[in-house]
Amino acid sequence: MSAAIDIRDRGGPAQPLLTVDKLIKHFPIKKGLGGKKAVVRAVDGVDFEILKGETLGIVGESGCGKSTTAKLIMGLIEHDSGQLLFDGEKIGSRALPMRSFRAQTQMVFQDSYSSLNPRMTVEASIAFGPQVHGVPKRQAIERARSLLARVGLEPTRFAARYPHELSGGQRQRVNIARALALEPRLVVLDEAVSALDKSVEAQVLNLLLDLKQDFNLTYLFISHDLNVVRFICDRVAVMYLGQVVEIGPADTVLASPSHPYTAALLSSMPSLDPDNRTEVAPLAGDPPNPIDPPSGCRFHPRCSLMEPVCPANVPPLDGVGELHRVACLARQPGSGHSLAPAQQVAA
């Protein structure tokens, strides 16, 4: 695949590659000794779009629903409700069956070792996907060797090795090569560099940027490291307790966040400057229980801007700037919050 126009592009460059609309996934559980039925609201109405050729980052605390959202997109688990569109077509429909979608969308997982079959060589792991999708064995092996070279692993040295014979960084390069073997359009990277040491992480991040350019890729990049997100992402979505609370250009969101939770995440980042040390905890308390989330704004029990209007009203994800949306009553005109901007009156 080259950086030229992709013949699979049905809607042109203006149409989002992936649209996630009101996506919901609740996991049923039994609560307490009596076995009372309840649900964990892992993903509870997630909305965002990924534009063609961009890298969208998803950040948030552990348990906010980042990885579950990725698995729902990939069809690894079934969603309860909501809609997933890929290039304007509903995923799993007659126009875009799941097999066709998975040929265009691949995923790189966090654990580089458990992602690979320990009984298969590196070459066989990369060539397996194309063979399943009808590529002749010899052509699939040639593609695997070419991709190994592209991700910085000499085929003559690494093709016949097994996963246990590689380092963590080398295994993740193999996983990236395997994801590219089907010539996808969208690659979902779920904490793909978080298990690597910093020097290897930098190499893999630079590799991902080069591959994006060379193969005309679109990335969904899930991470808890805001420095990595700032480096690689064009836009960023912030999730809290199963919902997107802020989304916008990475430079805007990470430089001047509009949501108090985003600001708290940024203030929790360690600094090498001794004059800029964090002396006060940016957030108080633990994340609320996803089985019984707070009413209204789910962040209000931990928010310094909380007012009586916050637990009484659910804030919509509204625009506060160009391509910048936030779910906070303190940022929305006419919400009733004392810090809300004045509502403009039509002339």
pLDDT tens, residue by residue, 37-56: 889 999 999 999 999 999 99
Strand ordering across the sheet containing 318-321: 105-108, 186-190, 218-222, 55-59, 235-240, 243-249, 324-326, 318-321
pLDDT band at 251 (very low <50, low <70, confident <90, very high): very high
Give the model's pLDDT for residue 38. 87
In a domain, 92, yes or no: yes
Query: Tens digits of per-residue pLDDT, 185-200?
Result: 999 999 888 878 888 8
Same domain, 127 and 221: yes
CB 271 within 8 A of CB 277: yes
In a domain, 234, yes or no: yes
CB 3 within 8 A of CB 183: no
Same domain, 59 and 93: yes
Give the model's pLDDT for residue 280. 62
Integer Cα distance of 171 and 120 in angstroms: 13
In a domain, 338, yes or no: no
pTM greater than 0.85 (yes/no): yes
13 CB neighbour count, 10 Å cutoff: 10
pLDDT band at 346 (very low <50, low <70, confident <90, very high): low
Same domain, 22 and 166: yes
Give the domain-ending residue among 216, 243, 270. 243
Same domain, 207 and 278: no
In a domain, 250, yes or no: no
The distance of Cα 48 from the centroid of its chain, to the nearest Å, equals: 11
In a domain, 288, yes or no: yes
- 132 residue type, one letter: V
Same domain, 205 and 278: no
Please, how many CA atoms are within 13 Å of residue 18, restricted to the half-sphere of its CB?
28
pLDDT band at 258 (very low <50, low <70, confident <90, very high): very high
**Does the pLDDT value for residue 312 go beyond 70?**
yes
Give the domain-ending residue among 221, 243, 265. 243
Residue 326 has phi, psi (to 5 degrees) of -145, 145
Same domain, 228 and 262: no
Same domain, 314 and 181: no
Integer Cα distance of 205 and 254 in angstroms: 19
CB 287 within 8 A of CB 61: yes
In a domain, 1, yes or no: no
Residue 244 has phi, psi (to 5 degrees) of -85, 120
Local structure of residue 229 (DSSP, 8 states): H
Q: Strands of the chain (E only): list them.
A: 18-31, 36-50, 55-59, 81-86, 89-90, 105-108, 186-190, 218-222, 235-240, 243-249, 318-321, 324-326
Query: Tens digits of per-residue pLDDT, 127-149?
Result: 999 999 999 999 999 999 999 99
- Domain span holding position 278: 257-331
- What's the total number of domains in the chain? 2
Same domain, 107 and 226: yes
pLDDT band at 343 (very low <50, low <70, confident <90, very high): confident
**Does the pLDDT value for residue 3 go beyond 60?**
no
Same domain, 129 and 217: yes
**Does the pLDDT value for residue 8 go beyond 80?**
no
Q: What is the CATH number of the domain that holds 90?
A: 3.40.50.300
Give the domain-ending residue among 188, 212, 243. 243
In a domain, 249, yes or no: no
Take residue 147 and report the two structure tokens written for it.
């991709």
Take residue 63 and report the two structure tokens written for it.
């348990």
Same domain, 143 and 285: no
**Does the pLDDT value for residue 63 go beyond 90?**
no
In a domain, 342, yes or no: no
Mean pLDDT, rounded, for 315-338: 89
Same domain, 152 and 31: yes
**Percent helix, percent strand, percent coil in the chain, to nearest 5:** 35, 20, 45
State what percent of residues in the chain have pLDDT above 90.
63
**Does the pLDDT value for residue 11 go beyond 90?**
no
Same domain, 203 and 270: no
327 CB neighbour count, 10 Å cutoff: 24
Query: Tens digits of per-residue pLDDT, 277-293?
Result: 666 656 766 778 888 89
